Amino acid sequence: MTGADDTRPDDAAGPNDPDAIRADIEQTREQLGRTVDELSHRLDVPARAQERVDQAKSSALESANRTKDTAVETYRENPPAVIGGGVAALTAVIGLLSWRRRRRRTAEERAAAKQAARRQAAARKAAQQRAKRAGKERVAARKKAAERAEVRRKAAAARRKAAVRSLTAHKRTATGQLTAKQRAASKQLSAAQRAATARVRAGERVAVQQVAATQRAAARRLPRRRSGWRRTLARLSR
């Protein structure tokens, strides 16, 4: 009995040793920390991250259950050692909760970043559309301005042609009027010349007739006693 009593504390020292329990708890904590770090580095892949999260949850639950069982057994054998196990389990649970909270915040931040990126993309697209619309409007405005300038140019050319035609017509009319006036003046001058010539000729005839009449009257007033040739000349001049 003495040998059995001597070996019982040695056999119970393994599972009831507080140092072993603390080492197991530290190992579990380190494993949880590595799992959390690995999951935090792989959050960019949703499916893999979810799988890792599920594995971490199951591993944490298993570790918590194992720690709880170990703590219960240790408390039965050695009550003061359960305090360290409870603290370790509580620390693990707090770490898991804080990690889930950080993950939730990270997911919210990622969703906010995605929403901001979508808003920026929509704003860039709207700005590009506005710039494209403004470019089209500028092209249309330049085209309309060019068309209006072409219309004004054609109208100015038409006005110049009309002015040239009007000036030519005025010149022709003035030339025709001047020619008609010249012709009328020439006709008037010719008529005046003919009238003057006729008057001159009529005056000459009248003068000749007057001279002849004067000569006849002078011949009548001559004395009757004349020589024979004078009488003959007077007779012939009658």
pLDDT in tens, 203-221: 888 888 888 888 777 767 6
Structure-token pair, residue 99: 């990690």
* Three-state DSSP string of 84-147: HHHHHHHHHHHHHHHHHHHHHHHHHHHHHHHHHHHHHHHHHHHHHHHHHHHHHHHHHHHHHHHH
Of residues 131 and 97, more confidence is placed in 131
How many beta carbons lie within 10 A of that of residue 67, not counting itself?
Answer: 22
Convert the pLDDT of each residue in 163-202 to its tens digit.
898 888 888 887 878 788 777 877 887 777 888 888 888 8
Which CA distances in Å does 55 have to 42, 52, 65, 96? 14, 5, 15, 13
Question: Is the per-residue pLDDT at 151 higher than 90?
Answer: yes
For residue 5, what pLDDT is reported? 42
Separation of alpha carbons 128 and 133, rounded Å: 8
| Alpha-helical segments (H) within 42-81 | 46-77
Mean pLDDT of the chain: 74
Q: What percent of the chain has pLDDT over 90?
A: 9
Query: Which among 24, 7, 28, 17 has a CA at the least distance from the CA of 73?
Result: 17
State the average pLDDT over residues 74-78: 59
- Return the half-sphere exposure (C-beta side, CA atoms, 13 A cut-off) of residue 178: 6
For residue 153, what pLDDT is reported? 92
For residue 154, what pLDDT is reported? 92
For residue 174, what pLDDT is reported? 79
Separation of alpha carbons 82 and 71, rounded Å: 5
Quickly tell me which residue has 């720690």 as its tokens.
67
* pTM (two decimals): 0.30
State the average pLDDT over residues 123-145: 90
Convert the pLDDT of each residue in 18-75 to its tens digit.
677 777 777 877 777 777 777 666 555 555 656 666 777 777 677 766 776 676 666 5
State the average pLDDT over residues 6-11: 41
